Amino acid sequence: MAKKDRNWKAEAKKLKAKLKKLRAENATEAKPAKAAPAVSPLAPAGGFPELPVIDGVEFATVAAGVRYSGRTDVMLARMAPGTAIAGVFTRSATRAACVLDCQAKLAGPVDSAAGAAIIVNSGNANAFTGANGQASVDRVTGAVAEALDMPATRVFSSSTGVIGEPLPHDRITARIAELKAGLSADAIEPAARAIMTTDTFPKGASTEIEAEGGPIRIAGIAKGSGMIAPDMATMLVYIFTDAKIAPATLQKMLSRNVGDTFNAITVDSDTSTSDALILAATGRSAATEIKDLRSTNAKAFEAALREVMTDLAHQVVRDGEGATKFVEVRVTGAAGPADARKVALAIANSPLVKTAIAGEDANWGRVVMAVGKSGAKADRDRLTIRFGDILVAEKGWRAPEYSEEEASAYMKRDELVISVDLGLGEAAQTVWTCDLTHGYIDINADYRS
């Protein structure tokens, strides 16, 4: 009898181990692709813009089944030898392995003669995955480096999607040869689509300037819809230019334009573990090299770069999960820059303000509340609030000429401006946000499943 018990227990143990293995395999199987969401009503008219080819940059995409089968989910960009790379990344304390890897590579020695590459997957963030996260990054970047004949230190990776799931990197490395074969200079739009998660439209922006010696072109793509809040970068963004510029100068320009572009937007006040902005300059333009930040070329280029960054940042807000309103919050008259930013973000992030906007309710009392809770210096009797051009409140009271009907009619617009003057100083800050609707809950209630 004892022998039979032992045999039964041993068999049960084997079956239990087999079941555990099957469950683990099923957990990483690609799921059927979800139906594409309806395009945001705030999406730019005309769809994805026609972006210029950037000399020295090629793109390719594949459907690797990282999370969903039948969905294009991996993008590869190859840059020519001599390309300068700059980047800014999330300051989250739980940064994903790919973010840490990119930061380490940018901080290390640069082989300027080598080419460079960016590989991005959607569906899985490879965040909070322990030591396995870095191992997956090494496998993916190593495979790209070998295929494209460049140092692994010049291959930058990003991952976006579900947090806490091991990255099935073998599905990506198995498609590297196909990605290499498909590289094309005019495939930036498919690249923008491949990096989308809950986005309802691909995001692209470009500009061109006439610089001394020839034109300089800039083109960028971005993804972002939810988990968007200022802490650099709150999304994935890749910007490419043919300008001749050293990495240190490129980094300085990028860093000092982040605060009023990508760090001045918020959808839901949540900062991702995986956010990154990478800027690549191939140096293929005939224009004179940008060395002196005070030069005409440098000023024109930086203004153009800021224009592209602002455009992409606004598109992310316009694609905010469930958004129906694009909202600009302008704060002026603050005692200092920090206070201006506190007030602007307090208004833009307030669930009460955002739901009132969604309901087209001219509830300016919620703006008063947000100013008061911000932690910034404020004086009730110096505060002025406007909805668009409509004076709502001043001198500690509702404006005498205020019309509830006029304000309510204004709130029905797709694009709104909320202006607050604190009357205490000269500092100002503008941020952009969207409303908070039932759609946001619908998207995020089952995102993992």
Specify the pTM: 0.90
Tell me if residue 261 is catalytic.
no
Residue 2 confidence (pLDDT): 52
58 labelled ligand-binding: no
Q: Which one of 173, 234, 241, 261 is the catalytic residue?
A: 234
**Can you tell me the distance from the alpha carbon of 89 to that of 254, in angstroms, rounded to the nearest whole number?**
11
Tell me: is residue 28 an annotated ligand-binding position: no
321 belongs to an annotated ligand binding site: yes
Given this model, what pLDDT does residue 22 score?
A: 47
**What was the pLDDT predicted at 85?**
97
Q: Is 449 one of the annotated binding-site residues?
A: yes
Task: Domains for the chain: give ranges and CATH numbers.
Answer: 57-317 (3.60.70.12), 326-444 (3.10.20.340)
Q: Who's near 423: CB < 8 A, 6+ residues apart?
A: 333, 379, 382, 383, 384
Q: Determine whether the annotation assigns residue 197 to a binding site.
A: yes
428 C-beta neighbours (distance < 10 Å), count: 16
234-254 tens-digit pLDDT: 589 999 999 999 999 999 999
Is there a binding annotation on residue 223?
yes
Q: Residue 1 has what pLDDT?
A: 47
All residue ranges of the chain with pLDDT < 50 are 1, 22-27, 449
Output the pLDDT for position 21: 53
The pLDDT of residue 20 is: 53
Contacts of 184 (CB under 8 A, 6+ apart): 58, 59, 60
